[in-house]
Chain A
Amino acid sequence: MTSAEGIQVFSGDLTIRSLPDLKAVFDRLDGPEVTLSLAELSHFDTAGAYALETLRLRLEQGGGSLVYRDVQPDHQALIERVAQAMPKPEASQKGQMSLTDLLEVVGRAVAGSGRFLLEILAMLGVFLARLFMFLRYPGQFRLTALVHHCDQVGWKAVPIVALMSFLIGVVLAFQGSVQLRQFGAEIFVVDLIAISILRELGILLTAIIVAGLTASSFTAAIGSMKMREEIDAMQTLAIDPATVLFVPRILALLITLPILGLIANVAGLFGGAIMSWIELGISPGMFLTRLLEDTSPRHVMVGFVKAPVFALIIGIIGCHAGMGVAGNAESLGRQTSSAVVRSIFAVIVAAALFSVFFALMEI
């Protein structure tokens, strides 16, 4: 930028790349009337035109003006185009949050969770209704789908469930032996392992693992079908999505979760027995005798009663989250992770309620 006889002569490039250096030069220009010659301008782009236009607006705001001299026609066209398209910021509404806004947020959250519970209940109702329908019309039942989902949900989860439960048994035996040895009551480690695994941990941890594996896959499968409008297509073809999609999945969970729980119980006791043998010298034979003599079968029953409830919770939350997917991929991801979090949370809440209930009933 050179100045001659009151005319500012700009030479060189005025583009997005040179703009950062030139901004200071433009900011310094001031006066009632600035005349700018663009005859020696070489490269020019929209960013450059934007700089000139902001300069003109700034000068005009101060009562001055900007006059161009020797502008090439294509540069002129670009300046006019940019002047026409200058963004006009709209005042944003983001202000301080008032008390009513806060109340509104709280209210919406409460109403939202109430609605969520209602929707879950509705889903349960639909599931039960379809199940009874199958009792009347067994021909409509999709056995192939059920077997497929049992394979997906149950069989594929066996290794991870067994390994996890085995390790839990090991940990319980080890921790229990350290504490019980102080009282010379090592043999009670068998009761400790048996009761905690059979009553609580076996089925609860299985449900948590299955919630992570299965609720997410239900949501992803149903959600991606929802996204591609497959579920809408089903409805227009008079196919009931609940019959085809939800019932086989939830039923598969109802069948396989107790079996997985049984596997977890066995693996947990096995891990506990091995660790007791190594740490405390309780032989497997003694472990077994003690287990059979002292542990009442009702502990096993208390454990297994919970399995169908957990299965329903996981299946229904997974399918419900899948139906909540909107038309884009982000919502699929959001719903999948929320299905896992919600189902694990709900399983633990249910386990706590069961505990309180059984304690009150003295079972």
Chain B
Amino acid sequence: MAADPVIRLRGIRNQFGAAVVHDNLDLDLYRGEVLGVVGGSGTGKSVLLRCIAGLRPPQAGRIEIFGQDALGCSEAARREIDARMGVMFQDGALFSSLTVRENVEVPMQNIRGLDAGLRRELADLKISMSGLPYAAGDKYPSELSGGMRKRAGLARALALDPEIVFLDEPTAGLDPIGASAFDELIKALSETLGLTVFLVTHDLDTLHATCDRIAVLAENRVMYTGTMADMLHVEHPWVHEYFHGPRARAAVATRERTD
């Protein structure tokens, strides 16, 4: 893994009224890595994701994406950056009036010269790569289960082969089998497509299975970053409780059994 940050956050400050969510937050995301972002409820994991994805400008700080200043740049440059990133929202956020295939085609409509037939074929490919059956392409989001909606959301996020993918709680609400299948999908896609993944999660199994590095949000900033092994030696009470609690022990045990 080259020391080549594709995203650099410096001094980020986010607040809602008087409630400060982030203050002087620094974070680097390196090319090709899967970064898991964890933290207690209300520590602003999703806010941070929205902030980087350009959905919510921070009150202060600097965001560099692909070496460009993402906050001060022109709108055209920002769109260029956005085209190289994909976001999968918690429940897929699929357009409910379109079929899954049409949903995946939406980002491709901006590509000049791409005819409808080829677009449709590529959408089918993305749907199949996300682990959905072919017939799912003709279905509407309301006809899919939660896990399938998430996969379809991932297919749409990957439609243009982005370099960075943001995943917001990819395994929340899935059964354990569906969740671990999703973890494997993320791992496999990030390896073959060379994706950089920013992954917000609560799921310790996902952290074990997919993440190269973990960032812990606490006390309004990124308290610690490091590998899973590093996290086990952190003394901070919340982090210790998180990675040594009964659920964490169970996750480690499962990991060791399968490895």
Please tell me if A28 contacts chain B, counting CB pairs below 8 Å. no
Please provide the chain A residues from 166 to 184 with a CB less than 8 Å away from any CB of chain B in the complex.
none
| Residue pair B97, A15 in contact (C-beta under 8 Å) | no
Please tell me if A158 contacts chain B, counting CB pairs below 8 Å. no
Please provide the chain A residues from 1 to 48 with a CB less than 8 Å away from any CB of chain B in the complex.
15-17, 19-21, 23, 45-47
Please tell me if A255 contacts chain B, counting CB pairs below 8 Å. no
| Residue pair B122, A85 in contact (C-beta under 8 Å) | no
| Residue pair B126, A46 in contact (C-beta under 8 Å) | yes
Please tell me if A74 contacts chain B, counting CB pairs below 8 Å. yes
Please provide the chain A residues from 62 to 109 with a CB less than 8 Å away from any CB of chain B in the complex.
74, 77-78, 80-82, 85-90
Alpha-carbon distance A250/B35, docked complex (angstroms): 56
Considering the complex, give the chain A residue whose CB is closest to the CB of B161: A45
List B contacts of A19 (CB < 8 A).
114, 118
Please tell me if B4 contacts chain A, counting CB pairs below 8 Å. no
Considering the complex, give the chain B residue whose CB is closest to the CB of A328: B142
- From residue B103, how far is it (CB to closest CB) to chain A in Å? 14
| Residue pair B124, A81 in contact (C-beta under 8 Å) | no
Alpha-carbon distance A110/B102, docked complex (angstroms): 33
Number of A-B contacts (CB under 8 A): 71
Q: Chain B: residues with CB nearer than 8 A to chain A?
A: 96-97, 108, 111-115, 118, 121-122, 124-129, 134-135, 142, 158, 160-161, 188, 191-194
Alpha-carbon distance A19/B188, docked complex (angstroms): 25
| Residue pair A330, B96 in contact (C-beta under 8 Å) | yes
Contact of B122 among A50, A78, A80 (CB under 8 A): A50
Alpha-carbon distance A54/B112, docked complex (angstroms): 21
Please tell me if A329 contacts chain B, counting CB pairs below 8 Å. yes
| Residue pair B161, A16 in contact (C-beta under 8 Å) | yes
| Residue pair A87, B118 in contact (C-beta under 8 Å) | no
9 residue pairs from A and B, CB less than 8 Å apart: A16-B108, A16-B111, A16-B114, A47-B161, A77-B191, A81-B129, A81-B188, A82-B129, A330-B96
| Residue pair B128, A46 in contact (C-beta under 8 Å) | no
Contact of A20 among B111, B127, B194 (CB under 8 A): B111
| Residue pair A89, B192 in contact (C-beta under 8 Å) | no
List A contacts of B158 (CB < 8 A).
46
Alpha-carbon distance A32/B125, docked complex (angstroms): 27
Contact of B113 among A21, A87, A326, A328 (CB under 8 A): A21
- From residue A139, how far is it (CB to closest CB) to chain B in Å? 42
| Residue pair A15, B114 in contact (C-beta under 8 Å) | no
List A contacts of B192 (CB < 8 A).
74, 77-78, 80-81
| Residue pair A86, B142 in contact (C-beta under 8 Å) | no
Given A45-B193, A81-B192, A328-B142, 18 more A-B residue pairs with CB atoms under 8 Å apart are A16-B111, A16-B122, A16-B160, A20-B113, A45-B161, A46-B122, A46-B161, A50-B121, A50-B122, A78-B193, A80-B192, A87-B124, A87-B125, A87-B134, A88-B134, A327-B142, A330-B96, A330-B97
Alpha-carbon distance A326/B111, docked complex (angstroms): 37
Contact of B124 among A45, A89, A329, A331 (CB under 8 A): A89
- From residue A277, how far is it (CB to closest CB) to chain B in Å? 53
Alpha-carbon distance A23/B118, docked complex (angstroms): 10
List A contacts of B124 (CB < 8 A).
87, 89
Alpha-carbon distance A88/B132, docked complex (angstroms): 12
Considering the complex, give the chain B residue whose CB is closest to the CB of A326: B142
| Residue pair B111, A17 in contact (C-beta under 8 Å) | yes
| Residue pair B161, A87 in contact (C-beta under 8 Å) | no
